[in-house]
Amino acid sequence: MVDAKYVEKYGYSLWRAMEKELSGYAEKAAVFTFGMKIKPAETVAKLLESTMAGIGTDELGLSAAVVRYQRLLPEVTQAYEELLGGKTLEKRIKGETSRRYEKLLVEIISVRE
């Protein structure tokens, strides 16, 4: 794996290198892109959580992520539960959204191909 070879050569991971060398949007973009190559389900789970974190929900971001990464959702729901210590993506969405929007998102994440 590339990250393991990087650690072997430089003593720290590519993740750490990006955090050290980049900042702001460039750092976020690089870390996200690298995450999508190395651990896509975990990266999307973190993205979904970031759209629901704090006060209010970024509904556009949440909708875009659910639609964009729909093919990964079975793996993402599992990764989400592991990352957040047992809290399910469905419960989180139900807590952050309401009515038809809630039902739509829950239906989308529940679809298994």
* pLDDT for the residue 89: 96
Dist CA 51 CA 57 (whole Å) = 6
Question: What pTM was computed for the model?
Answer: 0.88
Please give the DSSP secondary-structure letter assigned to residue 72. Answer: G
Convert 95-105 to b/e letters by CB count within 10 Å (16 or more is b). Answer: ebbeeeeeeeb
**Could you list the pLDDT tens digit for every one of the 113 residues in the chain?**
778 889 999 999 988 999 899 999 999 999 999 999 999 999 999 999 999 999 999 999 999 999 999 999 999 999 999 999 999 999 999 999 999 999 999 999 998 76
Convert 32-52 to b/e letters by CB count within 10 Å (16 or more is b). Answer: eebbbeeeebbbbbbbbeebb
* pLDDT for the residue 113: 60
- The pair of three-digit structure tokens given for residue 79, joined into one six-digit string: 């990764």
